[in-house]
Homo-oligomer: A and B are copies of this chain.
Amino acid sequence: MTTNTPREQRHQRTRDAILDAARRILHEEGVEGLSMRAIAQRIEYSPAGLYEYFDSKEAIIGAVCQQGFVRLDRQLGTVDPALPALEMLAASCRNYLRFAADNPDFYMLMFTNAPLTGITAVSKTRSLEDILLTNPSFLALHRAVERCVQEGIFHVPQDSRLFLMSMTFWEILHGGAMLAIANHMERDLAQRGETAVSVLARGYQCKAGV
């Protein structure tokens, strides 16, 4: 896979250093401070030198976001699969919101700068469903919902299906995260998310109205 000649190793190491510097700047100075010159300075390069490793600033941001989704995925992966389905879903949602609250600028960048196609291979013809179902972060959430359906805890509404159900959970998590970050209210995020998700879950548990 990763080629092994010394030259290519060094090349990869420099690439990683660039991404690492970008991530640190994002964390320490926010997205406004994330400039090519700032990245170059951190790794003691000339700004022009970065273009040997990335085509553009956008490409660097894209790579940073890609790593961000891997990181988010890892955090979602820490939930115990032995938990009851509903609690596993709740725990996944909690972890999701914790990631957003802990990395607000990172999260914001991941979801505003580039379409999610950047996560996987860039392909404009694929549907959102195809794209998301190959996004590990979304998959973790998706599988938790799937378990709830398989165990008969959730009912699939007549005009819906499993994928759309997972989407609703993601939508409410994402909406809460974005609103909280935009208003610098990351502190309340976990608590509010808890109740929002529980209400949504209850909506899927009830078969009919009332």
Question: Interface residues, chain A, CB within 8 Å of chain B?
Answer: 108, 111-112, 114-117, 128, 131, 157, 159-160, 164-165, 167-168, 170-179, 182-185, 188, 192, 195-196, 198-206, 209-210
Contact = CB atoms under 8 A, between A and B. Distances in A.
Give chain A's interface secondary structure class.
Answer: helix
The 7 tightest CB contacts between A and B, nearest first, are A175-B175, A203-B203, A171-B175, A206-B206, A174-B175, A199-B203, A202-B203
Given A203-B203, A205-B209, A115 B175 contact: no
B116 A183 contact: yes
A138 B14 CA distance: 48
B128 A183 contact: yes
Nearest to A194: B159
Contact of A195 (B160, B178, B184): B160
Given A171-B176, A203-B206, A182 B115 contact: yes
A117 B183 CA distance: 8
Contacts of A112: 108, 112, 178, 182
Contacts of A206: 202-203, 205-206, 210
Nearest to A165: B199
B183 A168 contact: no
